[in-house]
A = this chain, B = another copy of it.
């Protein structure tokens, strides 16, 4: 089958990605094989391309954390699916390919009325945001800081946090992106090229209750200073590095906590529970427009290098999707 490969391990640039031929996977017990319609492109995919985010043990070496498609083969013991049904799936890898095998629990029906290509780019972000705002215990009237409000995570997290009744402070790097954050419902939008921390301080006198953090080390100290008593930092990305000084005295004075999580390496049972909550909580909000679909750029599989180059440029806003 056709799949994206990276034949030269010493080349980690976008153009290292090519379409090649690899064996079609066979679904094991409890798995289904999906004939892929489209695959979402995520920042984690660019990290994997660079060699910085290896697949968990047992997962496909092929890049790609989410797809839409149709059920092509049903593995032993799977009862919930029929051949030909449309579906979307959260993957540990293998999405940039004609076919992918995945535990049936990580596969769900797409939201009604949403084009199957667009549906490929929803579940990774939705599962990330839903599971992490649950972990944060985000409450009505909490204040949440969401960086990169025009990015994939931010563009979903802003309207979802508003839907939960939170006050949203967001950051973005251009006036166009900040306008977009405001349209999504953000209450306060700041320029991350300026002194955004001072802006947050002015906008949230008692501090912020939750920080959905895609930056990591670079902002850790500012984040800790901005937290309210009982505040929670939820680190889901490390775009600003991994190592930073932590002031435990300040953490203790604020009775605060720092959590860091990812979806990819979690056991199937946890992913199954998360995607079911996504279907219950998020699909209706997409169908009724509470959460708007992100702006999309579609690339044929053969243009995967262009898609990665665009994401690497930092200019991408909205969602990139590969079509098979």
Contacts and interface: CB of A to CB of B under 8 A. Distances in A.
Given A244-B245, A245-B246, A248-B242, A257 B255 contact: no
A265 B253 CA distance: 9
Contacts of A249: 216, 238, 242-243
B252 A238 contact: yes
Contacts of A253: 262, 265
A251 B255 contact: no
A245 B248 contact: no
Interface of A: 216-217, 220, 235-236, 238, 242-262, 265-266
Nearest to A257: B259
A94 to B, nearest CB: 21
Contact of A260 (B217, B251, B259): B251
B256 A257 contact: no
Nearest to A250: B242
Task: For the complex of A and B, list the 10 residue pairs with the smallest distance between their C-beta atoms, beginning with the closest.
Answer: A242-B249, A252-B260, A246-B246, A251-B260, A257-B259, A255-B261, A216-B248, A258-B258, A242-B248, A243-B247
Contact of A243 (B245, B256, B261): B245
Contacts of A255: 260-262, 265-266
Nearest to A242: B249
Given A220-B246, A245-B243, A245-B244, A235 B260 contact: no
Given A243-B245, A246-B246, A235 B251 contact: yes
Contacts of A260: 248, 251-252, 254-257
A127 to B, nearest CB: 14
Given A216-B249, A254-B260, A257-B257, 5 more contacts: A235-B252, A242-B247, A243-B248, A244-B245, A252-B261
Instruction: Find the residue from A217, A257, A265 having the highest chain B CB count within 10 A.
Output: A257
Copies in the complex: 2
Nearest to A215: B248
Contacts of A238: 248-249, 252
Contacts of A248: 216-217, 220, 235, 238, 242-244, 260
Contacts of A236: 252
Contacts of A243: 245-249
A230 to B, nearest CB: 9
Nearest to A267: B229
A165 B63 CA distance: 42
A255 B216 CA distance: 14
A252 B242 CA distance: 9
28 contacts: A220-B246, A220-B248, A236-B252, A238-B249, A238-B252, A242-B248, A242-B249, A242-B250, A243-B245, A243-B247, A244-B248, A245-B246, A248-B260, A252-B260, A252-B261, A253-B262, A253-B265, A254-B260, A255-B260, A255-B261, A255-B262, A255-B266, A256-B259, A257-B257, A257-B258, A257-B259, A257-B260, A258-B258
A222 to B, nearest CB: 14
Contacts of A246: 220, 243-246, 258
A34 to B, nearest CB: 26
